[in-house]
Amino acid sequence: MNDKIIIKGAREHNLKNISLELPRNQLITITGLSGSGKSSLAFDTIFAEGQRRYVESLSAYARQFLGQMEKPDVDEIEGLS
């Protein structure tokens, strides 16, 4: 099992093609100046991809009641489960 979340080429909103590794099963903080992309990384990239994958795993019947979720602007995210 992967012990980290690996993000490659995140470009969502004001993120500029960043790549990073985050440890799993640990408390982490994302800090930075206002407008530096903290929320874009946490919510618009990591959370959005996790939510999209979850909805994708539902049955076609259940998915018909949910809107189509777009993939975040990122090359690859590994380690989400």
Domain ranges of the chain: 4-78
Give the pTM.
0.89
**Dist CA 56 CA 53 (whole Å):** 5
Give CA separation, 51 vs 10, 34, 62, 75, in Å: 17, 25, 14, 17
* Alpha-carbon span 11 to 80, nearest angstrom: 18
- Which string of b and e fits 44-60 if b means at least 16 CB within 10 Å? bbbebbeebeeeeeeee
Q: pLDDT tens digits, residue range 20-54? A: 999 999 999 999 999 999 999 999 999 999 999 99
Whether residue 1 is predicted with pLDDT greater than 70 in this model: the reply is no
Cβ–Cβ < 8 Å for 49, 80 = yes
